[in-house]
A and B are shown apart, each in its own frame.
Chain A
Amino acid sequence: MTHPEAVIETEHLTKYYGPRRGVEDVTLAVGRGEIFGFLGPNGAGKTTTIRCLLGFVRPSRGSVRVFGMPPGAIDRSRIGVIPGELTLFERMTGGGLLDYLGRLSGRPAVRRGELLERFALEARDLARPVRHYSRGMKQKLGILQALQHDPDVLILDEPTEGLDPLMQQEFYALLGEARSRGRTVFLSSHLLWEVERICDRVGIIRAGRLAAVEQVEDLRGRALRRIEVEFADEAGRAAFELPPGVVLERAEGRRATVRAPATEIEALLRTLLSHRVRDVVIERPSLEEAFLDYYREGAGGR
């Protein structure tokens, strides 16, 4: 898998922790100006992939490149990271922590003032020790430390944990702006609606293996639609025969709920024309449906 302007690349990335599987044969590329969502349940391998990207752990096989360089040679001043399960140095003040991490980054904190304003943090907040911060405040500080030096690549592991809805919106707006300025974002999340809302492409990881990498729209388009049909009477519902590719989810009284891919909708509607039907509701599929489809197929031995 190649990308014309790949900023982040993994090739056959495999990591085992002793006998325990981390990830297996993960190949993906994330381009400049792209927001890439990395989806999967707990333990699927999202964090291991990020650890490999950041050089925290060495791949057992395969390779990782950021800006075309292996982790040991990456210019880390160009990267901003919000680690999963963010832990800050609790004894430092918020301001002291930002200063310290800014100095370590080696680039001026050009966006700090703007970010403080957008995330409603005041000077007196920064003067307090981090241990006195609420969960949301700590997460805001985590966002600030990752973005204050205006990095070219953002690697974010569950970045909105603990943020209130207003601050989440502000954060999504920031990511949108980052994309329009050509920044690359690698976002690991288990919040499907979050990924659906802000990501251009999504990778789904299942049991350590990359199950799919697709545009969010394509993925949603391939998801099975849920169609609720209300027949004129129960006998009509009982006589209804499912066309190939359509799956019955539930049948009760006059109502039937089926799931069908977009390609079978026409055949389904033609079949329904031969019945007395009172109502048909076709739900727009969400990313959640697509994601769950992948996992259902996986559970079925895919």
Chain B
Amino acid sequence: MAAELARRLRFAARAFAFYALVALLFQYLLVLVFQTLDVDAFTPLLDALPPGLRALMGSDPAALFTSRGSLAVVFAHPVMVVLHSAFAIAIASGALAGEIETRSIALVLTRPIRRWEVAAAAGLVLAAGNAALMAFLWTGTALWSAVYRLGSVDLAAFGWVAAIGLSIFWAIGGVALLASAATSEAGRAAGLGAAFALAAYIANYLADLNPAWGWLGRYSIFGAWDPQAIVRQGGGSVGDLLLPLGVAMVSAALALVVFSRRDIAV
């Protein structure tokens, strides 16, 4: 399994480098934008925003204009959510379904390696890549706040932000891996992974938008995903991790079972 894991890590390295660079650049851009903002001018504007837009800005939009808030919003910014989800879905869908589609998986499956080990190697690369991306963002938070002297930043609280975010993207990656294990086309697997991520995101958005839809938040992996609130409170709770981690673990375990038992017509 070590050889298979090493190959998959090498294959994912280029994608990881690209996503990490883009994430770090985006974070840097947001910090630069924050430095140029006139906070007093923007506060009334925020109050005038429609609820639909305010829901996209977390539970405390006014905190966006603090160093803490602007750094926190990087983690939940739609661009970053799309970027991070795309990384998880691309790696997962290419790993199994993609190699079935190109038939290259035949070279691996004719060797003395069990199918669950092939799927586990893909899952480990996915988990490690996502963890490294989140660690990059957390490191960026520490870096930019020090370089631009943004004041004291509670890095432990940002550690919670990163941990909850990581569990969410593990969940998206897990579902995409399950789709990849069950299908024979990378596009279909990616579509299923993206549909899950989008449905979870929309459910959480609706829950934030209108109290009548609040119950949806409990069933969305994004339900506890409010970086500004987590930073304001000085950290999150283990309970916030349970739903996304549960989805990640169950879907990854199912991916191993499904990939071990299915027909692979290559």
A in complex with B: yes
**Digit string of B62-104 for contact with A (CB within 8 Å is 1, else 0)?**
0000000000000000000000000000000000000000111
Q: Please, which residues of chain B bring their CB within 8 A of the CB of A87?
A: 102-104, 106-107
Which residues 93-146 of A sit at the B interface, judged by CB distance below 8 A?
Answer: 100-101, 103-106, 145
Q: By the criterion CB–CB under 8 Å, are A54 and B112 in contact? A: no
Q: Please, which residues of chain B bring their CB within 8 A of the CB of A86?
A: 103
**Digit string of B1-39 for contact with A (CB within 8 Å is 1, else 0)?**
011101100010000000000000000000000000000
Is B109 in contact with chain A by the CB < 8 A criterion? yes
Q: Please, which residues of chain A bring their CB within 8 A of the CB of B112?
A: 75-77, 104-106
A91–B98 Cα distance when bound, in Å, is: 14
In the complex, how many angstroms separate the beta carbon of B221 from the nearest chain A beta carbon?
A: 32
Is B202 in contact with chain A by the CB < 8 A criterion? no
Q: Please, which residues of chain A bring their CB within 8 A of the CB of B102?
A: 87
A103–B108 Cα distance when bound, in Å, is: 11
A20–B261 Cα distance when bound, in Å, is: 20
**Digit string of A47-69 for contact with B (CB within 8 Å is 1, else 0)?**
00001001111100000000000
* Of the residues A56, A77, A88, A155, contact of B266 by C-beta under 8 Å: A56
**Digit string of B238-266 for contact with A (CB within 8 Å is 1, else 0)?**
00000000000000000000000001111
A34–B36 Cα distance when bound, in Å, is: 79
Q: By the criterion CB–CB under 8 Å, are B106 and A81 in contact? A: yes
Residue of A nearest to B4 (CB): A104
Q: Please, which residues of chain B bring their CB within 8 A of the CB of A51?
A: 265-266
Count residues on chain B whose CB falls below 8 Å from chain A CBs: 21
Q: By the criterion CB–CB under 8 Å, are B109 and A54 in contact? A: yes
Q: By the criterion CB–CB under 8 Å, are B265 and A79 in contact? A: no
In the complex, how many angstroms separate the beta carbon of B104 from the nearest chain A beta carbon?
A: 5
Range for the number of chain A residues in contact with chain B? 20 to 34
Q: By the criterion CB–CB under 8 Å, are A56 and B103 in contact? A: no
Q: Please, which residues of chain B bring their CB within 8 A of the CB of A58?
A: 263
Evaluate whether A89 and B109 lie within 8 angstroms (CB atoms) in the complex, with A17-B265, A100-B3 already known.
Answer: no
Q: Please, which residues of chain B bring their CB within 8 A of the CB of A92?
A: 7
Q: By the criterion CB–CB under 8 Å, are A88 and B104 in contact? A: yes
Is A176 in contact with chain B by the CB < 8 A criterion? no
Offer 17 A-B interface pairs, CB within 8 angstroms, sorted by A: A51-B266, A54-B109, A56-B106, A56-B263, A56-B266, A58-B263, A76-B110, A79-B110, A83-B110, A88-B104, A100-B6, A101-B111, A103-B2, A104-B108, A104-B111, A104-B113, A105-B111
Residue of B nearest to A99 (CB): B3
Q: Please, which residues of chain B bring their CB within 8 A of the CB of A88?
A: 104, 107
Q: Please, which residues of chain A bring their CB within 8 A of the CB of B6?
A: 100
Q: By the criterion CB–CB under 8 Å, are A54 and B110 in contact? A: yes
Residue of A nearest to B110 (CB): A81
Q: Please, which residues of chain A bring their CB within 8 A of the CB of B263?
A: 17, 56-58
Is A297 in contact with chain B by the CB < 8 A criterion? no
Q: By the criterion CB–CB under 8 Å, are B107 and A101 in contact? A: yes
Q: By the criterion CB–CB under 8 Å, are B265 and A56 in contact? A: yes
- Minimum-distance CB pairs A-B, first 8: A104-B111, A103-B3, A83-B106, A81-B110, A57-B263, A76-B112, A87-B103, A87-B104
In the complex, how many angstroms separate the beta carbon of A43 from the nearest chain B beta carbon?
A: 13
Is A252 in contact with chain B by the CB < 8 A criterion? no
Is A279 in contact with chain B by the CB < 8 A criterion? no
Q: Please, which residues of chain B bring their CB within 8 A of the CB of A75?
A: 112
Q: Please, which residues of chain A bring their CB within 8 A of the CB of B103?
A: 83, 85-87
A55–B106 Cα distance when bound, in Å, is: 11
Residue of B nearest to A101 (CB): B107
Q: By the criterion CB–CB under 8 Å, are B264 and A56 in contact? A: yes
A77–B112 Cα distance when bound, in Å, is: 6
In the complex, how many angstroms separate the beta carbon of B52 from the nearest chain A beta carbon?
A: 44
Residue of A nearest to B263 (CB): A57
Residue of B nearest to A103 (CB): B3
- Residue among A85, A89, A104, A145 having the largest count of chain B Cβ atoms under 10 Å: A104
Residue of A nearest to B266 (CB): A56
In the complex, how many angstroms separate the beta carbon of B157 from the nearest chain A beta carbon?
A: 40
Q: Please, which residues of chain B bring their CB within 8 A of the CB of A83?
A: 103, 106-107, 110, 266
Q: Please, which residues of chain B bring their CB within 8 A of the CB of A55?
A: 109
A17–B265 Cα distance when bound, in Å, is: 10
A85–B107 Cα distance when bound, in Å, is: 11
Q: Please, which residues of chain A bring their CB within 8 A of the CB of B264?
A: 56-57
A55–B263 Cα distance when bound, in Å, is: 9
Q: Please, which residues of chain A bring their CB within 8 A of the CB of B108?
A: 104
In the complex, how many angstroms separate the beta carbon of A75 from the nearest chain B beta carbon?
A: 7
Residue of A nearest to B113 (CB): A104
Residue of B nearest to A52 (CB): B263
In the complex, how many angstroms separate the beta carbon of A25 from the nearest chain B beta carbon?
A: 19
Q: Please, which residues of chain B bring their CB within 8 A of the CB of A76?
A: 110-113
Which residues 27-61 of A sit at the B interface, judged by CB distance below 8 A?
Answer: 51, 54-58
Q: By the criterion CB–CB under 8 Å, are A91 and B11 in contact? A: yes
A100–B263 Cα distance when bound, in Å, is: 25
Q: By the criterion CB–CB under 8 Å, are A100 and B7 in contact? A: yes
Residue of A nearest to B108 (CB): A104
Known: A76-B111, A85-B103. 7 other contacts (CB 8 A): A56-B263, A56-B264, A56-B265, A75-B112, A76-B110, A87-B103, A104-B112
